[in-house]
Structure 1
Amino acid sequence: MRGDCDAGGIAVNVQQLEPFLVALAIGMLLGFERERSHSRRLPAGSRSFALLSLAGAVAASFNTWAVIAGMVCVAALFTLAYMRTSQDDPGTTTEIAAVVAYLLGALACTRPALAVALAVIVTVLLVSKTRIHRFAREIVSEIELEDAIKFFVVAFVILPMLPDRQIGPYGVLNPSKVWLLVVLLTGIGWLGYIGVRALGPQRGLLVTGLAGGFVSASATTASMGRASRTDAGVRAPLAGALLASGATFVQLLLVIGLVDIDVLRRLWLPVAAGAVVLVGVALVVYRSAAQARRPDTEPAEDAASTPASRPFALRPALILAAVLTLALLVGRWGADVLGPQGAVLAAFAAGLADAHAGSVAAASLAAKGDISVDTALIAIAAALGSNLLVKIVLAFTAGGRRFGLGFVAGMAGPTVVFGAALTAALVFG
């Protein structure tokens, strides 16, 4: 495990000393925090922590076995120290922090930047003792903890086990991609729940809509539709759903710019115009939602900021993933039956699942010279149009008639502006 800490040679330069200095700094940082957070006598203070980290770096300069032997000695030393002080303070945070300081000192020998970053994270955890305890005991409920465990199982246990390959008719069924959509849907629900808890029902949903739109505007629209059936009302979730579609416009420009600059040069003005109008409509809807709140209930609403629904909703995510997969299958089947109608039909079919997929495919064909830029622009419009139809259906099914009509009304203006600007770009070049 020899690295930058190899002391071979007579001349000692700054580069050889750097890992040891980093280890000292890490130990002193953790030691200072431990001393300031305790008024009683500790088994290890700032000097002891600094020496422990330095010992870890010195051990790492020899080999891995030296690090392990040192680790055993440190663990034995602080086990004895805990046995002597456990009656006064049964906590083990200082002893564990000492072991971490030793290991970070060893890590500083080969990866000093990572060691410093981890030391900062550890210090933040130590400093945030009161906040973390309050969050765990007073804020997080048993239901939220149970749902968090379910989400981790869905995202980090099931997803890695699924095969990432195309199966089924037309190869549209990819188990990993379908389940990833389920993870995204439930994750967006979690993001909305946390946003509401942190910022209140109004602002939390607005931020969630914008952030979720960069992941999946369709999924975010469905999540906002479900939120509209809770105490949050209709207008705030509607504003979040509109901002999610605005994020789709922004993301579209980014991905198209990476594929074909010529398509971007013709596309940016229509997309920017539609995005500006869409953001303006969303802000108007949000302001109306804020003004609709009664003054006598506004403080209580912000103080409670607890969503009525549970943070983890697996069944709606499974249903929506199945609907989107079926829509993509129907689109591929229609294209196969009707024959090769070109990039426009393919982009429309792909847009049923994701607007960016069909748009990027069309831009890629234009970059290769297989289709003209004008055809690529029409194909992109087709992808956006089919994706908008899917979001409208999701808005009605998830949020009901009132939310769906509000979403259609909110998207009407930006869609007209985008279509007019795109038509002008096609006509005048």
Structure 2
Amino acid sequence: MDILRFATAGSVDDGKSTLIGRLLFDSKAIFEDQLEAVERTSRDRGTEYTDLSLLTDGLRAEREQGITIDVAYRYFATPKRKFIIADTPGHIQYTRNMVTGASTADLAIILIDARKGVLEQSRRHAFLTTLLRVPHLVLAVNKMDLVDYSEARFEEIREEFTAFASKLNASDLTFIPISALHGDNVVSRSENMPWYDGSSLLHHLENVHIASDRNLVDVRFPVQYVIRPHSATSPELHDYRGYAGQVAGGVLKPGDEVLHLPSGLTTTITGIDTFEGPVEEAFAPMSVTLRLGDDIDISRGDMICRPNNQPQAAQEIDAMICWMADGLKLQQRSKLIIKHTTRTARALVRDLHYRLDVNTLHRDESATALGLNEIGRVSLRTTQPLFVDDYARNRLTGGFILIDEATNGTVAAGMIVDAH
């Protein structure tokens, strides 16, 4: 059974947490004691209905303010598929949290209040999901019960958003009218909207095709750890040497010829081990241990790939940056630590090309710094080569984070646009 990771986004009070609560409730993915606690809290607040948003808003500040601040992760499964949900906050000051939640998502659900229509924050989140190359986008027009399930209102929002999405790189866009509060078109089709002939939200999530989204062409295996057991109790393990990591692209099989970077030496794969035992092939995003035919000096941060299909070994990188640090700005000549796959190096900000206004998509080329939640294009120079692909080609080998040397805190997420 495969796993679908999806993120919810949208403006404040558009019903993201309620939608997730409804998905969990209607798919019977919550325990009785959880439901009792939510019902008790709802009664204490004097609400006439069970507030399902309380299932995901775990922080006390979130419950008191009725908003989502942190990225809440929830898990549930149906007979067809397993799901990991990232409930991301809607407030503008928590844009960095939204970027974190959407960075690993296969699909993003952007909620829009049917009464309010497409807001600035809706456009902001749509742009961010396409910037992060989330392959599938669902626009869920929520609170249809408050506009009398109007088909005209739904079509109006669809046309407005389609016009905006034409400026973005949105490859797969689906529109679904829903009412998260009452469950219309969430798990099952709604009788209140006979004019809508599409699938329910859960049916779409169960059936959206994600296997082809992963890069199965370019073999990329960043080495995370070298395994040498040297077990006295198990002599057969004494000579074992394996290279553990997560497959970032392509398909690996025993007998394949592979190339090691940075040495440029070639060897063959003699075996692929997992926690459950040996396997005949490995592909993204599996975590495996490779056994190789030759003794090559391989360590953490190195890359295993195909001899005729290599990533770029680059020290000059152009990237889009989302700045996440509060109280610290990114400026020209800033010195930071860059962590790309399993390799860590020091980096210098050589140039800040422009700051991007995510509301208007305007490029401010006069900008001299990036502040909290701002996005811009920069050029970086690293102290050692990184083995990279463009983010558009491979999200794992095209993404990185920047770390502040003084605090060791993550200050930015980056997407590689060009490398040389």
Q: Specify the TM-score bucket, using the shorter chain as the normaliser.
A: under 0.3
Return the structure number with greater strand share. Answer: 2
Q: Give the TM-score taking structure 1 as reference length.
A: 0.25
Relative contact order, CA 8 A, sep 6+: which one is greater? Answer: 1
Whose helix fraction is larger, Structure 1's or Structure 2's? Answer: 1
